[in-house]
Amino acid sequence: MAATANPGPCPQVSEVQDRLLIGGVGGGSPGAIGLLLQTHAITHLIVCGRVDQDVHVAAAREAVVDGGTELHVAALVPEDKSDICRIMDNAVAFIQDALDDELNAVLVACSKGASRSVAVVLAYLMSRGADLASAFDLVASARWRIWPSALLVDSLMTLEARAGRCLKQEVLPATSSLPVLRRIGAHAAWATAWHNGIHASRAEAEDLWDQCKGLPLEEAFAKCKQALLGKSTAELELFSDQPRATYGQPPHAQVDNIAGISDDLKICGLGGLSASAIASMLQKHCVKRVVVCGKPERDAHVSAVKDALSIAGISTADLHIVPVRDSASEDLGSLLASAIDFVMAVPGRATLIACRQGASRSATVAIACLVHELKVSVLEAFNQLAASRWRLWPNAGFVRQLLAFEDSLKLAQQGERTTDEYKEQVLRKIGIHAAWATNKHNLRTGSGQQGLTIQEVEKFWNQAARQAEEPEERYELCKSLSLGVDLTSFDAEPDSKRACVDIGAEQKRTKRFVKMDIACSMN
């Protein structure tokens, strides 16, 4: 393909205009999303996605509980396509109400910050008088990695037609008639290509789009991407915004056996599943007892499990709740002993250990069970669990609590303590795996870096270790580098340049925080 300029890394969050930001939160824990909101002084959050299907929606709902950010869920994309315009109208009204107050800042987010959130921001800009073409150019100038789907573009055309600024047609017209479709469709294919490591030029994308003249809009979008990426139509479904009901349960809901203790110990994630779906899962795997990790008052999957037990005819006495959030600051260590006692109390009865994604809280409890029962180290227990389930990313705080748990057992049983060198080895091993697994998990939604190896993540860990002393910070930096998100602060540039960038961003945040403090003091 022809040589073209590298667009560079795309930040996790981009500012479209003053106090209106767009970004992706896919793969982020509630704690990470909460930190993102705090960093950018976000007062209002729109998260685009389906509560029953999208993990990032559940994570965002948890993230705003403690921070006070107002949340609006734009349920894109609905089963009924005719509902899209109504959903975007409601989201636009939420943005307008928020930005009427100069103290507010709005973040519009979806999994990747590339399609659904882009459509909502475009709809808002159009509501302020912009046409679709100029609105798209504004967003694309702030954030190159965008590829709104044909379905959403079609709905945006409907909104523009409603405003009397264009004549919407069902079939893709000649590019000379509506150049905005050529602009958006070619950009979407180009951005998708670069995101996947294919160094295409804009001119190539535009030429391929011209070859799709006369096709229905959705087919034109697909064929242009397919030709530029050299992918099959099935592979391009990764970038589709069609409802995912036909995809079955989300991948985190896969039930894996925890080898080593018994054949009856299992682990999975329950986020986004209904009570009836969970009940069917319990019955399918003959599960009779459940350990669920989550805060009953804030985690929807905990309530769903309670209802599922009733449906499946399982007594509430066979349910043990570990009331923790997936946050490095949470005290899970003091709850491990009771969880282990519950798991081991009734041998021979299948027990499920679960949390929202089956990757952090439940993984920590499962590792503790292996350490306690098999008299193995945390590192050995993690390797054993990872052999059965690669989708693991316990946060650094939980790993440190596991090490403290192991240390106390070793002191009681052997009169010795674990060494600092060993603890650092475990933190590194699990941190690297967590970043690698997070990236692999996100590839199914089109974000992350294709073909990323453990060896490459090890280099990212070394880079993160040079930037941060605390394990919690290293874990987050290593994940960011592995996902290819917001890498500008890690560029090899003079400290003075970084300092200038940081100071400028901090001044903007401080100004908004001061305004918010003043507003609070007046209430």
Q: Edge-to-edge, what's the strand order for the sheet holding 70-74?
A: 13-17, 20-24, 106-110, 44-48, 70-74
CA dihedral 74, 77, 78, 84 (to 10 degrees): 70
DSSP H or E run through 16: strand 13-17
Catalytic hit among 355, 369, 478, 500: 355
Q: What is the Cα–Cα distance from 519 to 513, expressed in whole angstroms?
A: 10
Q: Edge-to-edge, what's the strand order for the sheet holding 351-355?
A: 256-257, 265-269, 351-355, 289-293, 319-322
Known catalytic residue at 212 = no
Report which of 396, 399, 397 is spatially closest to residue 385, judged by C-alpha positions.
Answer: 399
Partners of residue 320 on adjacent β-strands: 291
- The CA-based angle 76-81-83, given to 5 degrees, is 70
The radius of gyration of the chain's CA atoms, rounded to the nearest angstrom, is 24
Residues 449/455, Cβ–Cβ less than 8 Å: no
Pairing of strands 265-269, 256-257: antiparallel
Q: In this structure, how many other beta carbons lie within 10 angstroms of the beta carbon of residue 414?
A: 8
289, burial (CB in 10 Å: exposed 0-12, middle 13-18, buried 19+) = buried
DSSP H or E run through 59: helix 55-67
Can you spell out the DSSP letters for 181-248?
Answer: HHHHHHHHHHHHHHHTT----HHHHHHHHHTTTTSBHHHHHHHHHHHHHT--TTGGGGG--S--GGG-
Active centre residues (catalytic)? 355
